[in-house]
Amino acid sequence: MRRILILQFLCGIFFNPHLFAQPFEYNLELIDRIWFPSQQWNSGDTTGGSDVWGYRAPDGEEYAIMGVLEGTAFVRISTMEVIDIVPGPQNNDYYYHRDIKTYGHYAYVVHEMTGLGYGMTVINLENLPNSVELVQSYVSPGNVRSHNLSIDTATGYAYIVKQAYNGFRIVSLENPEEPVDINMVSTPDIHDVFARSDTVYVAEGTNGTFSIWDVSDKMNPAMLTRVSIPNSGYVHNIWPTDDGKFAMTTEETVNKTLKIWDIQNINNVTLLGEYLGENNLAHNTHIHGNFAYISHYTVGVKIVDISDTQNPIEVAGYDTYGENNNGDFYGCWGVYPFTLNDYVYASDLEGYLTILKFNHPEFPVELSVNYSSDWNMIGLPVLNDGTLYLNIFSDAIEGTLYSFQDGYIQENELINGAGYWLRLSNQSQVTFTGEELNFLSLQLNTGWNLITGFTQAVSINSIYDPLDLIILGTLFRFDESYTPADELIPGNGYWIRSVGNGEIFLSEN
């Protein structure tokens, strides 16, 4: 049957193995599911489940963090054990909105509700898996409630939707247990914010617009653009691609599509592609790599390939609701895709937390890197079975590959994550071929370490360092002499200095 389909496809259109593989090799696999008590209304509605986020502890354990009727639940994924539910306010909100983000070993939760524990809940996660600790509920005058927040983890600032839905607050997390409001930014309306690298993206709700802000000067934020969506619905959320060249918006209105925008020219933002699932009502989108992960209400989770921004293609879905496919406010509320094992966490209004695994084919990548004659600091930026350095570097001088661990060690094979010295007889360009590498766990020792990154460039600020091992200003590359570096470029090796022994983590998100 597969051969017949291939022949038909070849006869019909130009063959593209990436497109062809999607219907056969992408899927969402159910791993586990649990339910939290929820509010059952006379109308037949069941509410209480809201947002879901994730946290990876220093010991490698993954946790789902979900807003539930009683507060905020913490679930250990490996065992599906509910570690704790931190109580939160429960009054004056039919849907029990809660929104969650993490920064370091802290979780921050905002609520639409009033009552016991109102404000932004600050929770210490460092004692997991044994327990979590409520630090405080932070209240800014006039802002008891909030619908949404985003944390710029590179700079340590939270951006929180104002209670009156007329802008966002800028909050310093310099002391993670004692947030401090720094400033406020006004917008005509607001529903969601997203912040990364001193840029804030705002979905402006009933105004039918989204805006993008430069907040590098916290006291003088500057709006870069405001884009009006033609014939818009309620502009609900916005999420940029990892490279910041594109953004995707949702409108949480029946028959209103998710839209992909080219934002490279901030003065000429253009609409490229659109998508909508079969129930015609989407909630939120999150982008991770080449995929958009969408909480799509009654049809559950949708995953859409956006590598071709003009032609987004649905590649996988899982119906977490199952009752019907109507365009109503039931079913999947939140999706969290930023895990290291392709797990996807989904939360439903009805109180369900569903753990899925995104199974997808790995396509080979080719990456070319230029090297100088003589000594180079190098690394292996792809997954490859053939790791003998003489087979990869045709101009390598035999016997000159060295790793470092309290001294130089002569090597014959390359290991992902390890940096090396290698001497070349000529200036050369080396093409690495293999599977994309988008996560590394690196073991650091006290003192100097020789490391490398993966297939994509990664900023030093994006390295997850839960034990605060890295000494600031000690990342160096070599190009005839040592020079300071602020990112790990694929194929290059780097020195970095650590205050102790432990792990750091590199991930594409």
User: Six-digit token pair at 236?
Assistant: 């609900």
Best CA proximity match to 285, nearest among 265, 256, 324, 308: 256
The pLDDT value recorded for residue 162 is 96
Q: Is 300 left (phi over 0), alpha (psi -120 to 50) or beta?
A: left
Per-residue pLDDT of the chain (509 residues; tens, 9 = 90+): 222 232 333 333 333 333 333 445 899 999 999 999 998 888 778 889 999 999 998 888 999 999 999 999 999 999 999 999 999 999 988 889 999 999 989 999 999 999 999 999 999 999 999 999 999 999 998 899 999 999 998 889 999 999 999 999 999 999 999 999 999 999 999 999 999 989 999 999 999 999 999 999 999 999 999 999 999 999 999 999 988 999 999 999 999 999 999 999 999 999 999 999 999 999 999 999 899 999 999 999 999 999 999 999 999 999 999 999 999 999 999 999 998 889 999 999 999 999 999 998 877 888 999 999 999 999 999 988 778 999 999 999 999 999 999 899 999 999 999 999 999 999 999 999 998 888 888 989 999 999 999 998 988 988 888 888 999 999 999 988 999 999 999 999 999 999 998 889 887 65
Q: State how far the Cα of 146 lies from the Cα of 463, in Å rounded to an integer.
A: 30
Q: State how far the Cα of 454 lies from the Cα of 438, in Å rounded to an integer.
A: 6
φ, ψ of residue 229 in degrees (nearest 5):
-90, 120
Give the residues across from 55 on adjacent strands. 63
Give the residues across from 86 on adjacent strands. 72
Q: State how far the Cα of 475 lies from the Cα of 379, in Å rounded to an integer.
A: 15
Ordered by where they begin, the domains of the chain are: 24-359 (2.130.10.10), 364-507 (no CATH)
Helix (H) or strand (E) holding 159, with range, is strand 157-161
Compute how many other C-beta atoms are within 10 angstroms of the C-beta atom of residue 441: 14
Q: State how far the Cα of 273 lies from the Cα of 258, in Å rounded to an integer.
A: 8
153, 101 Cβ separation under 8 angstroms: no
Report the b/e string of 382-410 with b at 16+ CB within 10 A: bbbeebebeebbeebeeebbbbbeeeeee
Give the residues across from 293 on adjacent strands. 286, 303
Q: State how far the Cα of 134 lies from the Cα of 151, in Å rounded to an integer.
A: 19
User: Six-digit token pair at 296?
Assistant: 């799509």
End-to-end CA distance of the chain: 38
What's the half-sphere exposure (Cβ side, CA atoms, 13 Å) at 76? 17
The pLDDT value recorded for residue 465 is 87
Q: State how far the Cα of 32 lies from the Cα of 233, in Å rounded to an integer.
A: 35
What's the half-sphere exposure (Cβ side, CA atoms, 13 Å) at 6? 6
Q: State how far the Cα of 173 lies from the Cα of 150, in Å rounded to an integer.
A: 12
User: Six-digit token pair at 481?
Assistant: 């002499």
By CB atoms closer than 10 A (0-12, 13-18, 19+), residue 323 is: exposed
The pLDDT value recorded for residue 19 is 36
C-alpha distance from residue 381 to each of 279, 353, 371, 447, 452 (Å): 41, 36, 14, 24, 8
The pLDDT value recorded for residue 46 is 84
C-alpha distance from residue 40 to each of 48, 90, 95, 302, 334 (Å): 9, 14, 11, 27, 20
Contacts of 349 (CB under 8 A, 6+ apart): 38, 46, 47, 48, 49, 50, 95, 329, 330, 331, 333
C-alpha 262: how far from its chain's center?
Answer: 20
Contacts of 479 (CB under 8 A, 6+ apart): 372
Q: DSSP per residue over 322-344, as a string? A: -S---SSS-SEEEEE---SSSEE
User: Six-digit token pair at 211?
Assistant: 């805006």
φ, ψ of residue 452 in degrees (nearest 5):
-145, 170
The pLDDT value recorded for residue 341 is 86
CA torsion angle 173 176 178 181 (round to 10): 10
3 state SS of 161 = strand
Give the residues across from 403 on adjacent strands. 409
Give the neighbor-by-neighbor strand order of the sheet with 120-124: 98-103, 106-111, 120-124, 133-138
Best CA proximity match to 202, nearest among 171, 174, 230, 165: 165
